[in-house]
Amino acid sequence: MAGDAPLLDVRDLSVSFRSGGRDVPIIENVSFAVCEREILGIVGESGSGKSVTAMAIMRLIDDPGVTLRGSVRFRGQELTTLPQKAFRTIRGREIAMIFQDPMTAFTPVYTVGWQIDEAIRVHERLSKAEARARTVRLLGDMGVPDPERTANRYPHQLSGGLRQRAMIAMALSCNPALLIADEPTTALDVTVQAQILDLLRNLRTDYGSAVMLITHDMGVVAETCDHVMVLYSGRVAERGPAAAIFSQPAHPYTAALLDSIPPLTGPRPTRLPSIAGAPPAPLERPPGCAFAPRCHYAHAACDILPPLVRCAEQEVACVLPGEGKALPPRMTERVEA
Amino acid sequence: MLKSLLQRLGQTVFVLFGISVMVFLVFFATPGADPTARIAGKNASPATIAKVRQEYGFDRPLPVQYATMMKKLFITQDLTSYANRGEKVVPEIIKAAPVTLSLATGGAVIWVVVSILMGTVAAAFRGTWVDRTLMAIGLVGVSIPVFWLGQVANLITQARYHDTWLFSWVPPLGYVPFSESPVGWFKALLISWCTLSVLFIGVYARVLRSDLVTVSGEDFMRTARAKGLSPSRVLLVHGLRTSMITFVSLFGMDFAQLIGGGALLTEVVFGLQGVGRLTYQALSSLDLPFIMASVMYSAVFVVLANALVDVVYLFLDPRVRDGR
Ligand SMILES: Nc1ncnc2c1ncn2[C@@H]1O[C@H](COP(=O)(O)OP(=O)(O)OP(=O)(O)O)[C@@H](O)[C@H]1O
Ligand code: SF4
Ligand SMILES: [Mg+2]
């Protein structure tokens, strides 16, 4: 395959749930790609559809009222039409996933090591002892102290940070090409959070895995990702290389998100600027730009859904660049001040 | 683990002591009522009354009375029923215990196996006609009164169709000790086991199903699916195993309750001289030593059965093991 063909290619993915007799669109026409060894950050406020996107790619939504449209190609193979049985050889082996809350993500009645062994043995013909040896090695790689003993402990006996490390070890157990991490650090305290992010950042060199990092924290993206996709109310607001987006956001929503990153150095402001209002509920989403009710620049042209257009290095769903009124570059000094 | 076990043992002993004191106080230290006369029975001669008073030490302080009573109940086991011409009551209860234990255990095996099957299959096919049919059957099971079901079962197996090949093996009502003939024991109890288990199958299958459905929304089930496990493995190894924790705690209460005499109706319908029936007889004859003994022993059975289930629970749930 061509070297730069994306590992994961998502085109026009839409997910809707049936509720109260009508289809509620949760995400609409989301497209993005993840290349080998790349870290893509998916950012958005709570409810913007980040988890639904991830679950849809993994086909883990088992709600009977769900409708999935669009295409998800993994190494050129279409996943949306793959039979569940065939999909199981991809899940956990080619694409692995870790979740937000490490407290509840392990089955409480089995030891952590047992659960990692299980993940290995479902995909590879290994003896129990061989699987356990790999489990211990993985736990060690993830910086778990005394991995042999830790493997024999139950989830409730481990701290949140250790559990998330064990979770990542489990996700990496079959050397997946893509790791989907759904808010892996949200439930952890700040120092542990930095360690886990470090771990994720090193995966591409240590394991050759690409990472799809879901978060609502632009600060996390800044520290970790190569590319960024900003979701707003189930639609792509902006996507492109992280560096470009951080230096010159093209969507007012991205700009507002960036303004709300707490500075890494210097005195912390007592109150961070936050975006007034809340994103619209899926059913109340306006036909035009969903951000319009909260946007300072909203005007008549925004009543028609703006398509994704190229603007500098990124693509943005906003009418401003087309009108020649692109947002000014960000004054990064303000963050550092 | 060992610590938790010992802790549980200590608790059991303490609870047993507490219950015995309470039962004793209720029967023998109720102000204004002289237990002597009640033990001796109606129209007892003064000689009998004097004998009873001396035997139980009713002229001595309460702790001594308590000790005497416990000794007569559990050590010498010579508590005597005066109302019933000097019959020893404790051996009577000891004889009834295996009957009830057999009845409850056999019934429990059936109801546990069948309800796990029903609940799991219903959860696996949730929302389909399989689910609805199984749950409807469960609901019917819950609604049938045990004594009616027992009577119908008797009518069919003992009378109406007894001479057909299907039920000719059914022995007459009553109990056959296991030590005498294991096969006879099994045959004698099978119909009563099935009858007893119907209600519980209904309850347990429904509880397990809803538990499995709840559990399937848990994060760890999603993790299990994300690992690439098959749906059946996710359901059985992760879902069912976790749901067993609730299942067993429910089971503990019901089983203990049956052992302590809760199977009265089944025992009566099938002519089994078990603990429930004995307690009922004691209560209706107003025979104080008899009541005292059956209440005490029932309590002991309940507490022991509960302790046993708790130990199983300890094995099932690592969180409890750590005393969390
Ligand atoms: N099974 C479902 N049925 C109906 N609606 C759902 C279902 N799952 C999610 N939703 C809706 O989809 C929307 C997006 O949810 P999602 O979990 O993807 O948000 P998110 O971006 O991950 O937010 P968070 O940061 O809180 O995790 C929410 O409005 C939610 O109510
Ligand atoms: S399209 Fe209009 S409302 Fe939407 S972000 Fe751009 S300027 Fe604001
Ligand atoms: Mg989420």
Q: Is residue A52 part of a domain?
A: no
Ramachandran region, residue B308 (left: φ > 0; alpha: ψ -120 to 50; beta: rest): alpha
Residues with CB under 5 A from ligand 3 (ion): A 51
What spacing in Å lies between the alpha carbon of A292 and ligand 2's midpoint? 5
Number of domains present in the structure of chain B? 1
Given a cut of 70, whether residue A3 has pLDDT beyond it is: no
State what percent of residues in chain B have pLDDT above 70: 97
Across the interface, whether the CB atoms of A105 and B242 are under 8 A apart is answered no
Same domain (yes/no): A238, A317: yes
Q: Which of A155, A175, A195 is the last residue of a domain?
A: A175
Given a cut of 80, whether residue B37 has pLDDT beyond it is: no
Q: Two tokens at B65? A: 């009375």
pLDDT-derived band at B131, boundaries 50, 70, 90: very high
Burial of B127 (0-12, 13-18, 19+ CB in 10 A): exposed
Closest-CA distance of chain B to residue A101, Å: 8
Angle at B96 between CA B95 and CA B99, to 5 degrees: 110
What pLDDT, on the 0 to 100 scale, is given for residue A327? Answer: 79
> Per DSSP, what are the bridge partners of residue A182?
A214
- Contact between B98 and B189 under an 8 Å Cβ cutoff? The reply is no
Global pTM? Answer: 0.84
Angle at A93 between CA A138 and CA A72, to 5 degrees: 135
Q: Is residue B298 part of a domain?
A: no
Given a cut of 60, whether residue B288 has pLDDT beyond it is: yes
Q: How far apart are CA A26 and CA B246, in angstroms?
A: 35
**Minimum mean pLDDT among B42-46, B61-65, B303-307: which range?**
B42-46
Closest-CA distance of chain B to residue A106, Å: 5
Give the pairing of strands A210-215 and A178-182: parallel
Q: Is residue B319 part of a domain?
A: no
Q: Is residue B83 part of a domain?
A: no
- Contact between B274 and B173 under an 8 Å Cβ cutoff? The reply is no
Q: Two tokens at B87? A: 């019959």
User: Is ligand 1 within 6 A of the CB of residue A189?
Assistant: no
Q: CB neighbours (10 Å) of residue B183? A: 10
The closest CB to that of B219, out of A99, A110, A118, belongs to A99
Given a cut of 90, whether residue A180 has pLDDT beyond it is: yes
Which residues have a Cβ under 8 Å from the Cβ of B273 and sit 6 or more positions away?
B95, B96, B99, B175, B267
For B301, the 3-state DSSP assignment is: helix
- Range of A242-251, B116-125, B184-193 with top mean pLDDT: B116-125
Which residues have a Cβ under 8 Å from the Cβ of B322 and sit 6 or more positions away?
A154, A156, A157, B4
How much is the ipTM here?
0.86
What pLDDT, on the 0 to 100 scale, is given for residue A277? Answer: 78
Q: Is residue A311 part of a domain?
A: yes
User: A121 to chain B: nearest residue by CA?
Assistant: B229
Q: Is residue B312 part of a domain?
A: no
For B101, the 3-state DSSP assignment is: helix
Residue B48 has, within 13 A of its CA and on its CB side, a CA count of 16
The closest CB to that of B242, out of A88, A99, A107, belongs to A107
Given a cut of 50, whether residue B243 has pLDDT beyond it is: yes
Q: Is residue A107 part of a domain?
A: yes
What pLDDT, on the 0 to 100 scale, is given for residue B296? Answer: 83
Contacts of A99 in chain B (CB under 8 A): 219, 222-223, 226
Query: For chain B, what is the mean pLDDT?
Result: 86
pLDDT-derived band at A334, boundaries 50, 70, 90: very low
> Per DSSP, what are the bridge partners of residue A213?
A41, A181
What spacing in Å lies between the alpha carbon of B217 and ligand 3's midpoint? 15
Q: Is residue A336 part of a domain?
A: no
Residue B131 in contact with partner chain A when CB distance is under 8 A: no
Residue bearing the CA closest to ligand 2, atom 6: A318
- Contact between B228 and B141 under an 8 Å Cβ cutoff? The reply is no
Q: How far apart are CA A212 and CA A196, in angstroms?
A: 14
Which residues have a Cβ under 8 Å from the Cβ of A145 and sit 6 or more positions away?
none
CATH number where B204 lies: 1.10.3720.10
The closest CB to that of A99, out of B223, B229, B241, belongs to B223
Q: Considering only CB atoms, which residues of chain A are within 8 Å of chain B?
A: 58, 60, 64, 84, 88-93, 96-97, 99, 101, 104-110, 118-119, 122-123, 154, 156-157, 167, 170
Across the interface, whether the CB atoms of B223 and A108 are under 8 A apart is answered no
- Residues lining ligand 2, judged by CB closer than 6 Å? A 251-252, 289, 291-292, 295, 297-298, 302, 306, 318-320
What pLDDT, on the 0 to 100 scale, is given for residue B313? Answer: 84
**Minimum mean pLDDT among A54-58, A209-213, A295-299: which range?**
A295-299
**Minimum mean pLDDT among A6-15, A181-190, A201-210, B192-201: which range?**
A181-190
For A309, the 3-state DSSP assignment is: strand
The closest CB to that of A106, out of B127, B223, B225, belongs to B223
Residue type, B6: L
User: B126 to chain A: nearest residue by CA?
Assistant: A64
Angle at B310 between CA B304 and CA B313, to 5 degrees: 150
Sequence-distant contacts of B32-36: CB under 8 A, at least 24 apart: B34/B58, B35/B288
How far is residue B189 from each of residues A116, A185, B167, B179, B271, measured CA to CA in Å? 46, 59, 13, 14, 11
The arithmetic mean of pLDDT across residues A234-253, rounded, is 92
Closest-CA distance of chain B to residue A178, Å: 13
Of B268, B295, B281, the C-alpha closest to B103 is: B268
Q: Two tokens at A166? A: 């064990």
Q: Is residue B280 part of a domain?
A: no
Ramachandran region, residue B63 (left: φ > 0; alpha: ψ -120 to 50; beta: rest): alpha
Q: Is residue B239 part of a domain?
A: yes
- Contact between A102 and A163 under an 8 Å Cβ cutoff? The reply is yes
Number of domains present in the structure of chain A? 2
Q: How far apart are CA B139 and CA B318, in angstroms?
A: 33
Q: Is residue B179 part of a domain?
A: yes
What spacing in Å lies between the alpha carbon of B115 and ligand 2's midpoint? 58
Q: Two tokens at B170? A: 């059914």
Q: Nearest bound ligand to CA A305?
A: 2
B112: containing domain: 95-273
Contacts of B317 in chain A (CB under 8 A): 108-109
A113: containing domain: 95-175
| Alpha helices (runs of H) in B227-261, residue ranges in sequence order | 231-233, 241-257
Q: How far apart are CA A330 and CA A316, in angstroms?
A: 16
Q: Is residue A147 part of a domain?
A: yes
Query: For chain A, what is the mean pLDDT?
Result: 88
Across the interface, whether the CB atoms of A92 and B228 are under 8 A apart is answered yes
Q: Is residue B10 part of a domain?
A: no
